[in-house]
Structure 1
């Protein structure tokens, strides 16, 4: 079911641990359920006609969590991007993309990510971007250092944008954060400068297709002015 709505939707995955705690389960069970929800929402978004979906899976600050939780999260791509899941994405023509650092990832995690990119590279449908070991500040610092190394004398918005991980993605139209918190958490700060923000009290593992549709309907009722004003204002 295609619906009128945003071109690029970004989602901060929040509330996995709190969902698990509320169920009397270990935090890792929340991450497991949250990973399953990624596929559910990705397939739903594709059917709704969304062209770009960016999922914030693991931030540069998440390394500060317990060793056990970090190790579990680093192994999530191996469960999320198995052959069956890749086949489901291929059937929907979803192309997988990654933004973020790769230097700190375990070799197996990086291998799984790169393999999923290769297996979906010819798909022509929605681009599903995993922001994994991503942080907006690190992204901008990396871009600035690369610009300095290239000795570019004058830097404008286009040059900076072309040095970001997201250089092939459009600006974010709608940024969704489930879990009840209301902050950006170092996610796509440059790319979300005119995004509409939508906050949900639902934890990510319970954020379903109806919740996504509600966010899109809310977006469609917004008046996006991009810093300007309308004739009636």
Structure 2
């Protein structure tokens, strides 16, 4: 594995590292079903994937890593699973805080955090404050987040300000991601090929990468393969290939 990882690393150009990678961490439930255990065990075993991708992204020089941890639609899942996810969130933030500090990683979040349980809000707020001055990669947790919520919230804020005409830049300034560059690369695991209400406005020109790997099995090797695929693409942003090359 180490040799394979080193070989993959040599294929990555340090001059074209995605500034912002977003990840839809999918497949925890299916992973658990394959193991013959409850779905919550899939979420628990996904922590190693989070750790591996976070460390790998930081080592590559990625500036922002956004993880879709809990969507507004996830509240509709069975209560025992939601309760388990909230407990896991609290414990994970507590357990991973020393690693974030050690690696100079700043933690922040997007989404309607006020709907989370009080202990989750408290633990998240403490971790954000303790890592606030870290200057390395920024790890963004999307919690109780959806792209539709983000856009509606931005519009409502603009209406409250009495805006009669809205420019795209006005929306940018009122999204929960204000100050965070749009994702260059989206990775979705488990073979599903959709963006599931995630960063709808922000992903207008994001490169999409889908893999069959279930999230609990996703490791640094898989991250490298996604980045290699990204670097083989030509990002034109509406221009022609000749214009980009010029």
Instruction: Quickly name the TM-score band, shorter chain normalised.
Output: over 0.9
Aligned-residue offset at 1:103? 2.4
Instruction: Name the structure 2 match of 1:154.
Output: 165
Q: What are the Cα deviations for residues 103-155 of structure 1, in whole angstroms up to 9, with x where unaligned?
A: 21110011111011011000000000000100000111011011101112321
Instruction: Name the structure 1 match of 2:56.
Output: 44
> Among residues 41, 53, 75, which one is paired with 1:63 in the alignment?
75
Instruction: Name the structure 2 match of 1:230.
Output: 241
Distance (whole Å) between structure 2 residues aligned to residue 189 and residue 73 of structure 1: 24
Aligned-residue offset at 1:232? 8.5
Instruction: Name the structure 2 match of 1:80.
Output: 92
Distance (whole Å) between structure 2 residues aligned to residue 13 and residue 232 of structure 1: 35
Distance (whole Å) between structure 2 residues aligned to residue 69 and residue 172 of structure 1: 29
Q: What are the Cα deviations for residues 72-102 of structure 1, in whole angstroms up to 9, with x where unaligned?
A: 11222212111x4211111111000100002
Aligned-residue offset at 1:42? 0.5
Instruction: Name the structure 1 match of 2:192.
Output: 181
Distance (whole Å) between structure 1 residues aligned to residue 230 and residue 35 of structure 2: 31
> Among residues 210, 215, 225, which one is paired with 1:204 in the alignment?
215
Contact 2:70 2:142 in 1 (8 A): yes
Q: Secondary structure at the match of 2:48?
A: helix
Moved over 4 A (4+): none
Distance (whole Å) between structure 2 residues aligned to residue 10 and residue 117 of structure 1: 19
Question: How do 1:114-153 residues align onto structure 2 when only pairs under 5 Å count?
Answer: 114-153=125-164
Instruction: Name the structure 2 match of 1:95.
Output: 106
Distance (whole Å) between structure 2 residues aligned to residue 211 and residue 39 of structure 1: 13
Question: Could you tell me the TM-score, scaled by structure 1's length?
Answer: 0.96
Between 149-158 and 121-130, the greater mean CA deviation after superposition: 149-158
Aligned-residue offset at 1:5? 1.6
Distance (whole Å) between structure 2 residues aligned to residue 207 and residue 162 of structure 1: 34
Q: Secondary structure at the match of 1:81?
A: helix
Q: What are the Cα deviations for residues 151-171 of structure 1, in whole angstroms up to 9, with x where unaligned?
A: 123211111111000001001
> Which segments of 5 or more consecutive residues in structure 1 lack a partner in the other structure?
none
Compute the RMSD of aligned alpha carbons. Answer: 1.5
Between 2-11 and 94-103, the greater mean CA deviation after superposition: 2-11
> Among residues 39, 46, 50, which one is paired with 1:34 in the alignment?
46
Instruction: Name the structure 1 match of 2:229.
Output: 218
Contact 1:86 1:116 in 2 (8 A): yes
Aligned-residue offset at 1:230? 1.4
Distance (whole Å) between structure 2 residues aligned to residue 93 and residue 224 of structure 1: 30
Instruction: Name the structure 2 match of 1:18.
Output: 30
